Chains A and B, each alone.
Chain A
Amino acid sequence: MNEPKSVLIIDDDILYVKAIQTLLESSGYKVRSASNSRDGIELAKALQPDLILLDVMMSERTEGFFVLQELRRIPALSRTPVIVLSSIYSEEPIFRVDPEAGWLPANLFLAKPVDPARLLTEAERLTSGSLEEKGAPAAGRKQV
């Protein structure tokens, strides 16, 4: 068997984290979490996870966006797949951002609550195969 893939969840809603953690663990992922930006960035540096799930609204601000920019500035994390999970996008039925949109270097945006099957499919896709297939954005891509 392969080494289990590791996922880091950065989200200040501890209850929400538990739900996602349970889901991911049921599919064999090793999950760690951080409930604020600073811990999230530190933990990401230390763990070098295979995937990061990132919330946007933390401490009543859009801190997630800054975390994302910050992560991309760290060489070891500049190409780590990141899924932005946020309830600020609850556009029905599915919120999608063009991977080429470039305004934020995330690999994927998903609306909370996320469909379990969808999340697991995307997690699987983003943690396997070559980086090119993931549409991993280059660090420091120009903002639109």
Chain B
Amino acid sequence: MAATPVSARENTVFVIDDDEIIRLSCEQILKKSGYHVETFANGHVGIERLKEVRPPLLVVDIKMPELDGFEVIRIVRKIDPDVVIVVITGYATIETAVDAMKMGAYDFLPKPFTPGELRMIIERGFERWRLAREAQLLRHEKEQVERKFVTLVSHQLKSPLVAVKQYLDTLLYTSGAQLPGESAEWISRSQERISEMLKLIQDWLMLSKLDRGALTDRGVSSDIGKIAENIVREYQQLPSAAHVKLSAEIAPGLAQATGDGVSLAMLVRNLVSNAVKYNKPGGEVKVTASGNGQWITLKVSDTGIGISSLHRARLFEEFYRVISPETQNIPGTGLGLVICKRILDELGGFIDVDSKEGEYTTFTVRLPIASPIKEAEYADAVGK
């Protein structure tokens, strides 16, 4: 609708009918009512012209030689889903009209009709067209506002938190040793809470991007093996992951996965982060990736606290978090796995979980192998 060029077309009616008398009478009646009318003796000519003019309203006879009304409706719907179609049925059987409606006609006009009937139906059709257009404009506007809202709000929510956190970081770093009593401890607790909140905002932003289908890119491929290795290496150097042993085992010559590097890195990072967080001191986190035929299978296994079957079913729900004595002090947003699931939904992949309480959890991800194999332009998003 946004592409509609001329305002003159806003009162244009197309009439496609092989019967000359119908064409002429329609033209006369509607011109008197102030409409701009173009008539066509057959579907082919009408459709060609419709591609250029895009009238709001099309009146078409069902029974025509060559291209019948049904065919015209089918083709026109593909060209312009917004044009309001009224069918003329010479034999006013309900069935024909119903069939036409099913194919996307808005109304029908049984022959013979009076000028008043024609005017009434055309007016109704235009009203319908105007309402649909308004609704579409509103929808479009709403989408834009939402998009902007999410970006701005998240940035405005983050900025003060980032500044506060940076103050605390600086304070603790430059004068932590001189702080009296429990001050240093309180500061670091505040830092942790702020970090959680920042993560929540970030996850929320990601989800809203995913809702718009704007986060992953199915058209590119990435070296998932390299991404996984990089993330494991990253975590190996992290103080917060020092309590576990991380390893990666990537099958040599692993194929490229469908998806852009940034979203695949987010996927792997969320899983590895969970495996680290919900682990036991001295535990292990193992990331493996292998391929066969159509799929790359990526497994992230831990030797952690496990997830009971009760919770497993709800793991991929928004804001769902397993609450237990073991998990109550572990920070999390309850969105990480939701994000993983959504990324995979978009890429045509799957995620599954296997776990035994107190022993292990393994997340298995299946990603479609990209074809044809391209240069992984985005694979390096996580760095070296």
Residues of A bordering B, CB below 8 Å: 13, 15-16, 18-20, 22-23, 26, 57, 60, 87-88, 90-94, 96-98, 100-101, 112-117, 144
Q: List 16 A-B contacts (CB under 8 A).
A: A13-B163, A16-B163, A19-B166, A19-B170, A20-B166, A26-B170, A87-B198, A90-B202, A94-B234, A94-B238, A98-B383, A101-B380, A113-B166, A114-B169, A116-B174, A117-B173
- CB of A22 within 8 A of CB of B174, answer yes
- CB of A19 within 8 A of CB of B380, answer no
How far does the alpha carbon of A92 sit from the alpha carbon of B165 in the complex, in Å? 15
- CB of B170 within 8 A of CB of A23, answer yes
Residues of chain B with a CB closer than 8 A to A20's CB: 166, 170
Kindly state whether residue B341 has any CB partner on chain A within 8 Å: no
- CB of A113 within 8 A of CB of B380, answer no
- CB of A16 within 8 A of CB of B159, answer yes
Residues of B bordering A, CB below 8 Å: 152, 155, 158-160, 162-163, 165-167, 169-170, 172-174, 198-199, 202, 234-235, 238, 240, 265-266, 269, 273, 377, 380-384
Q: Quick one: which of B152, B165, B234, B238 contacts A60, CB cutoff 8 A? A: B152
Asked whether A92 and B166 contact (CB < 8 A) given A13-B159, A87-B159, the answer is no
10 further A-B pairs in the complex, CB-CB below 8 A; given A57-B155, A113-B165, A116-B170: A16-B159, A16-B162, A26-B174, A87-B198, A88-B155, A92-B269, A93-B238, A94-B234, A112-B162, A114-B169
Residues of chain A with a CB closer than 8 A to B382's CB: 96
Which of B152, B169, B198, B266 is the most central at the interface, judged by chain A CB atoms within 10 Å of its CB? Answer: B169
How far does the alpha carbon of A16 sit from the alpha carbon of B159 in the complex, in Å? 8
Residues of chain A with a CB closer than 8 A to B380's CB: 98, 100-101
Smallest CB separation, B50 vs chain A (Å): 42
How far does the alpha carbon of A56 sit from the alpha carbon of B273 in the complex, in Å? 27
**B156 to A, closest residue via Cβ:** A60
How far does the alpha carbon of A113 sit from the alpha carbon of B171 in the complex, in Å? 13
Asked whether A116 and B173 contact (CB < 8 A) given A93-B238, A94-B234, the answer is yes
Smallest CB separation, A91 vs chain B (Å): 7
Smallest CB separation, B97 vs chain A (Å): 54
How far does the alpha carbon of A77 sit from the alpha carbon of B166 in the complex, in Å? 28
How far does the alpha carbon of A92 sit from the alpha carbon of B159 in the complex, in Å? 17
Residues of chain A with a CB closer than 8 A to B269's CB: 91-92
The 6 closest A-B pairs by CB, nearest first: A96-B383, A116-B173, A19-B166, A113-B165, A98-B380, A113-B166
Residues of chain A with a CB closer than 8 A to B163's CB: 13, 15-16, 19, 113
Smallest CB separation, A85 vs chain B (Å): 10
**B157 to A, closest residue via Cβ:** A87
**A93 to B, closest residue via Cβ:** B238
**A94 to B, closest residue via Cβ:** B234
- CB of B162 within 8 A of CB of A87, answer yes
**A16 to B, closest residue via Cβ:** B163
How far does the alpha carbon of A117 sit from the alpha carbon of B172 in the complex, in Å? 11
Asked whether A112 and B166 contact (CB < 8 A) given A88-B155, A92-B273, the answer is yes
Which of B163, B198, B240, B380 is the most central at the interface, judged by chain A CB atoms within 10 Å of its CB? Answer: B163
Asked whether A113 and B162 contact (CB < 8 A) given A92-B199, A144-B377, the answer is yes
Residues of chain B with a CB closer than 8 A to A100's CB: 380
How far does the alpha carbon of A60 sit from the alpha carbon of B269 in the complex, in Å? 29
Which of B166, B173, B269 is the most central at the interface, judged by chain A CB atoms within 10 Å of its CB? Answer: B166
How far does the alpha carbon of A93 sit from the alpha carbon of B62 in the complex, in Å? 64
**B172 to A, closest residue via Cβ:** A116
How far does the alpha carbon of A46 sit from the alpha carbon of B325 in the complex, in Å? 59
Residues of chain A with a CB closer than 8 A to B170's CB: 19-20, 22-23, 26, 116
Residues of chain B with a CB closer than 8 A to A57's CB: 155
Q: Quick one: which of B166, B172, B198, B383 contacts A90, CB cutoff 8 A? A: B198
Smallest CB separation, B32 vs chain A (Å): 54
Residues of chain B with a CB closer than 8 A to A113's CB: 162-163, 165-166, 169, 198
How far does the alpha carbon of A57 sit from the alpha carbon of B360 in the complex, in Å? 42
- CB of A87 within 8 A of CB of B383, answer no
Asked whether A23 and B234 contact (CB < 8 A) given A16-B162, A88-B155, A90-B199, the answer is no
- CB of B234 within 8 A of CB of A87, answer no
How far does the alpha carbon of A115 sit from the alpha carbon of B273 in the complex, in Å? 19
Which of A90, A101, A114, A117 is the most central at the interface, judged by chain B CB atoms within 10 Å of its CB? Answer: A90
How far does the alpha carbon of A87 sit from the alpha carbon of B174 in the complex, in Å? 22
Residues of chain B with a CB closer than 8 A to A101's CB: 380
Q: Quick one: which of B155, B166, B234, B377 contacts A114, CB cutoff 8 A? A: B166
How far does the alpha carbon of A98 sit from the alpha carbon of B235 in the complex, in Å? 17
